[in-house]
Structure 1
């Protein structure tokens, strides 16, 4: 699934770009589109929905804050979002390097060029897939970079993924999550699975991670201690 954002203050421009994108992606399974009419609205949304968008087509000449300003603010929150600037002027091309823009499209956008961008975006997502964990819940679909995960914990029928700024809850079993993640994550308790490199302190019965003190169960103490020690001296990796 490719989750695409379109930000342009002209509704006709948004409609035209979405129509072309839908045509290009007609043979692929699943797309989600998010549309924004202002840079302010885009920045506010991305601040609350990190990880919910893969690719953003961003008009440079927006009313209010410009597309470039919006991209700078977004980059403070999300380094992984693929940003493609859309502009009527080629002069803006070099400004995009500061925010790691994936590409520039000059209006009117040509379908062939847009197709090339989509191809690159899909290839990049395929490349990133082993380094991300996919969460499905009632709020949407999230691709969480493994390096941003602190730990998982089970809560009845739910599993909760914890990052520095947010929790993501989804239905599942911690045993299944552990099998999916394999290297770099250590089971310390029936209810807790931690990313080894995020652990800040290890004591006999607890680990400290992200400011939280989590218990190490007696049954898993030996295996957990060994796995955490190996990770700390660089013999293991989550990648």
Structure 2
């Protein structure tokens, strides 16, 4: 499922881009959701509660108050994996997009062949990033959480909390399944209820680890493997 945002203060421009997008995605037999925003303030307000939900965002550069470039800078501070594409009536702004890691730019009105090139690059970038994000599904939607931002997962029966450097996400599942889905040596099980990212640990003792001033217990059954793995991680960081 591809989650796409269109931010433009012109209803006509949003409608034109959406129409071209839907035709292209229909031809690809792709599943998608499209969210529309009429201002930079609107997309930033929505983004505050849906930090990792969008895969691709089209931003009009010339908007009042918060323009597309400023909105992109603020979004990029919170999300390093979202693909940003600027839509503009002028080519003068194109080079500014490189400062926020923009995937591409499109000139209005958006032409199908140019949009197709952008989508090809988007799908390729998403494929490359597949091993760098964790997909979290809950009642609010689907979130693409950069693995490097994850501190740890905790489990309370079937309710799992993913704690990151910026916020927490909750969803239902099994911690065993999360560990299997990650299939990543960067994560370590220290307890039946806790799965941590090794690089996030500030201190380790025989009975606990400290992550951002929070103490998490190491259970007896995981103690030997956990302490050995974390000690090795610390030594590698110092080397």
**What band does the TM-score fall into relative to the shorter chain?**
over 0.9
Is the Cα contact below 8 Å between 2:153 and 2:161 reproduced in 1?
yes
Is the Cα contact below 8 Å between 2:13 and 2:109 reproduced in 1?
no
Within a 5 Å distance, the mapping from 1:160-199 to structure 2 comes to: 160-182=161-183, 183-199=185-201
2 CA distance for matches of 1:175 and 1:201? Answer: 25
1:9 paired with 2:26, answer no
2 CA distance for matches of 1:41 and 1:228? Answer: 43
1 CA distance for matches of 2:182 and 2:79? Answer: 23
What residue is the counterpart of 1:44 in the other structure? Answer: 45
Task: Report SS of the residue matched to 2:4.
Answer: strand
What residue is the counterpart of 1:223 in the other structure? Answer: 225
Task: Report SS of the residue matched to 2:202.
Answer: strand
Gapped regions of structure 2 (runs ≥ 5): none
Is the Cα contact below 8 Å between 2:81 and 2:129 reproduced in 1?
no
Task: Report SS of the residue matched to 2:221.
Answer: coil
Task: Report SS of the residue matched to 2:122.
Answer: helix
Gapped regions of structure 1 (runs ≥ 5): none
- Paired residues, number: 235
Within a 5 Å distance, the mapping from 1:129-168 to structure 2 comes to: 129-168=130-169
2 CA distance for matches of 1:209 and 1:179? Answer: 22
Task: Report SS of the residue matched to 1:35.
Answer: strand
Please identify runs of 4+ aligned residues in structure 1 that moved more than 3 A: none
Task: Report SS of the residue matched to 2:23.
Answer: helix
2 CA distance for matches of 1:179 and 1:58? Answer: 36
How far did 1:29 drift? 3.4
What residue is the counterpart of 1:61 in the other structure? Answer: 62
How far did 1:76 drift? 2.2
How far did 1:165 drift? 2.1
How far did 1:122 drift? 0.6
Report Cα offsets for 1:153-184 as digits up to 9, x if no partner. 11111111110221111111111111222311
1:214 paired with 2:216, answer yes
Is the Cα contact below 8 Å between 1:151 and 1:162 reproduced in 2?
yes
The TM-score with structure 2 as length reference comes to 0.94
Two-structure CA RMSD over aligned residues (Å): 1.4
2 CA distance for matches of 1:176 and 1:78? Answer: 25
Is the Cα contact below 8 Å between 2:8 and 2:39 reproduced in 1?
yes
Within a 5 Å distance, the mapping from 1:47-126 to structure 2 comes to: 47-126=48-127
1 CA distance for matches of 2:177 and 2:48? Answer: 30
